[in-house]
Amino acid sequence: MHSRSFSSALGSAAFVLVCATAVPTLAQTDEQRAGARSLATEGASAFNDGRFKDAVDLFSKAESLVHAPPHLLFIARASTKLGQYVKAREAYLKITKEQLPPNTPQAFRDAQSAASREMAAIDHKIGGLAVKVEGAGEAKDLQVKLDGTQIPSVLVGVSQPVDPGEHRVEAVATGYRAQPKTVKVGEGEKTSVSLKLEVDPNAALPPDADPSPKAGEPVPASSAGVQTVGGTASVGGPPPPQGDTGPSGGGGGIKVAAFSAFGVGAVGLGIGTVFILKSISKRNEANDICTLAGGGCPKERKADVDQLDSDAWSAQAVAIVGFAVGGGSVATGILLLALDKGGSQDAKAARVDPWIGWNSAGVSGRF
C-alpha cells in the first residue's frame, strides 16, 4: 500500500512536469522542463531503491529547474528516511505555505495535502540544542560552529532545532579558543551545552599588545634584552648580533630591495618591448595600405589607416611608460647594490643614468 502511494506520487510528478506549460508562474524553456522531468524520474527510482541521499540530490536539481511541490515532497520524504528531520520539515513547510492559484494541477494540491499529514508525523522527533559560550560578551570576532557550520551570532545561547544524534560544537575568538565538545540529542529532546573560552597559546599577539614587562614584574634571565651590569639585571634593547657594525648591518635588506627593483624593471622593460613591437606592426600595416604614388593612401581605406595610426601611437605611449618604469627600476636596483657593496662613501661616487631611445632603453653609470 505504501509503495503504491509513492508510485502514484511519481506519476503525479511526471504529469506535472509534462503539463508545466499550463501554469504561467512555472513557464520554463522546453530544455529545462525536459531536464527536470528526467531528474525527477531518476530521483523517484533512487528513492524506491533506498538511495535516499541520491534522491534528495536529484529532486533538488529538478526543483532548481522547474518548481513543483511534488519535488519538495520527495525531498522531504527522502530526508526523513535519512533522519534529517529539520531539513524535511523545512521542505514540508514550503509546500504547505505556498498559495496555489485556482488553475493549479491536481498533483500540486495532492502534494500539499500529503505534506501537512507527513509533517505532523515528524515534528515530535526534532530535538533542540542551545550552545552557550562563557566569555562571549567580551570576545572579539566570536565564531560558534555546530557540526562545522557557523551559527549566526543571534542564535548563540538560543535553542535551535537539531536532528537526533551526535553533534559537535566548537567556539573560537581572537586570541581565545574553547575545547570542542560532542553532545548527543535524543528524539524530541531539548538540551544545552556550554563552552568556555580560554587563552589560545598558539594565537599571535594582537598588534596593540605590549609585550614589555610591567614595573615590579620579575624578568627572566633568558629574556632577550636583559643585560647584566654590576651584578644587577637591567632591561634594555636586545644586544646587536655579532658582526653587526651599524649602518652596513642591514645589507640583507638592501639586497632584497635591489632584487625587487630588478624584478619590477624586468616587467617594465618587457611591457615596453611588447608594445613597441605592436606599434611597429601597426605602422607597417598602415604603410602596406598606402601604396599609391608618393606614399598616398586610397580614399576608401582612409578610415583603416587612421585607426592603425591611432593604435600605433597608443602602443608607443604605453611602450615609453614601460621603458621609463623599467629603466628607472633597474637603475634603482644597481644603485642599491652599489650601496650594499661599497658602503655609504663608495655609493656617493656611484652614478647611474637611465636612458630611453626609440625602440630601446637602458642604463649607464659609474660604480
Query: Do residue 39 and residue 106 come from a single domain?
Result: yes
Last residue of a domain, one of 79, 108, 123: 123
Judge if 76 and 151 occupy the same domain.
no
Does one domain contain both 33 and 62?
A: yes
Say if residues 59 and 38 touch (Cβ distance below 8 Å).
Answer: no
pLDDT tens-digit readout, 62-106: 999 999 999 999 999 999 999 999 999 999 999 999 999 999 899
Q: Please tell me the number of Cα atoms within 13 Å of 269 on its side-chain side.
A: 20
pLDDT at 48: 96
Q: What is the average pLDDT across 142-166?
A: 93
Q: For residues 146 and 129, is the Cβ–Cβ distance under 8 A?
A: yes
- Regarding beta strands 149-150 and 165-173, do their DSSP bridges make them parallel or antiparallel, or are they unpaired? unpaired
Q: Answer yes or no: is 252 within a domain.
A: yes
Of 19-33, 101-115, 164-178, minimum mean pLDDT range: 19-33
pLDDT at 261: 79
Q: What DSSP assignment string belongs to 292-310?
A: SGGG---GGGHHHHHHHHH
pLDDT in tens, 39-54: 999 999 999 999 999 9
Nearest CA to 13 among 64, 70, 98, 78?
A: 70
Domain boundary pick from 98, 123, 148:
123
Higher pLDDT among residues 275 and 118, named by residue = 118
User: What cell was used for 359?
Assistant: 625602440
pLDDT score of 293: 64
Q: Do 309 and 362 reside in the same domain of the chain?
A: yes
Rounded to whole angstroms, the Cα distance separating 300 from 310 reads: 17
User: Which one, of 111, 107, 33, lies nearest residue 65 by Cα?
Assistant: 33
Query: Beta-strand (E) ranges in the chain?
Result: 127-134, 143-146, 149-150, 160-162, 165-173, 176-178, 181-185, 190-199, 226-229, 232-235, 351-357, 360-366
Residue 215 has pLDDT above 90, yes or no: no
Task: Say what the pLDDT of residue 231 is.
Answer: 43
* pLDDT at 7 > cutoff 50: no
Residue 316: band (very low, low, confident or very high) from pLDDT cuts 50, 70, 90: confident
Pair 276, 362 in one domain: yes
How far from 59 is each of 50, 144, 353, CA to CA, in Å?
14, 31, 71
- Domain final residue pick, 165, 199, 233: 199
The total number of structural domains that make up the chain: 3
Assigned domain for 352 exists? yes
Q: Provide the percentage of residues in the chain whose pLDDT is more than 70.
A: 71
Whether residues 255 and 177 fall in one domain: no
Task: Please check whether residue 215 lies inside any domain of the structure.
Answer: no
Residue 24 lies in a domain: yes
- What is the extent of the structural domain holding 166? 126-199
Residues 32 and 115 in one domain: yes
Give 257's contacts (C-beta < 8 A, 6+ positions apart): 336
CB of 233 closer than 8 Å to CB of 171: no
One domain, residues 15 and 53: yes
Does residue 243 register a pLDDT over 90? no
Asked if residue 224 has pLDDT above 60, the reply is no
Residue 229 within a domain? no
| Residues 253 and 360 reside in one and the same domain | yes
Q: Where do we find the cell 494540491?
A: 109
The three cell numbers locating residue 297: 593612401
Q: Does one domain contain both 270 and 357?
A: yes
The pLDDT confidence band at residue 117, using thresholds 50, 70 and 90, is very high
Residues 178 and 261 occupy one common structural domain: no
Higher-confidence residue of 14 and 90: namely: 90
CATH code at 112? 1.25.40
Q: Assign residue 144 the CATH number of its domain.
A: 2.60.40.1120
Count of CA atoms in the C-beta half-sphere (13 A) of 241: 4
CB 127 within 8 A of CB 161: yes
Tell me if 216 is assigned to some domain: no
**Where is average pLDDT lowest: 40-44, 159-163, 185-189, 231-235?**
231-235
Question: Does 293 lie in the same domain as 275?
Answer: yes
> Which residues touch 196 (CB under 8 Å, ≥6 apart)?
133, 134, 135, 178, 179
Question: DSSP assignment of 54-73, as one string?
Answer: HHHHHHHHHHHHS--HHHHH
CA distance 8 to 5: 5
